[in-house]
Amino acid sequence: MTKEELHELFEYKDGNLYWKVDRFTKKCKGKKAGSKCKNGYEHIQINYKYIYSHRAIFLYHHGYLPKILDHINGIRDDNRIENLREVTSFQNAWNMKIKLGSSGVKGVTWDKAHKKWFAQIRAKNKKIYIGRFESLEDAEQAYKSHLQLHHGEYTRDGTLL
């Protein structure tokens, strides 16, 4: 699949691709292309092969397909081009939705032995010890400052979307 082929078949509008042509016996010209998968992504069937809509949209705009694409806001069916970016596997993991532990704060747990809040972060497959803190708020603040340092624009701040 090439950028030119996509431009022949589709028109892009507001994060969606719309058919420019009728396909086989279906009258689909002008209709939104694709359907939602069980995993929350949308996909489109082109020439008997499926491609995720976000990948087709990225190719439509940029002319190449990166190995890994990220939805910046974490919403799998928000395929606006400004919400899509090429990332490494580490950057993609940093932007994943998270399951919060008992503290309610990503990266912070209660250390029973020391009776303090323990903060750590993972960056490039390494755990980085941040410290132990008297208050949950201090541990959370320290964690968030390390997020910016290690993950930059690819971070998710510990809140669930």
Q: Give the CA distances from residue 149 to residues 17, 98, 108, 121, 123, in Å, rounded to whole numbers and listed in that order.
A: 37, 19, 17, 11, 10
| Contact call for residues 122 and 129 (beta carbons, < 8 A) | no
| Contact call for residues 77 and 36 (beta carbons, < 8 A) | yes
Model pLDDT for residues 47-86, shown as the tens digit of each residue = 889 999 999 999 999 999 999 999 988 899 999 999 999 9
pTM above 0.85, yes or no: no
Q: What does residue 57 show for φ and ψ, rounded to 5 degrees? A: -65, -40
Q: How far apart are alpha carbons 141 and 8 in whole angstroms?
A: 51
pLDDT band at 18 (very low <50, low <70, confident <90, very high): very high
Domains identified in the chain and CATH numbers: 3-86 (3.90.75.20), 98-154 (3.30.730.10)
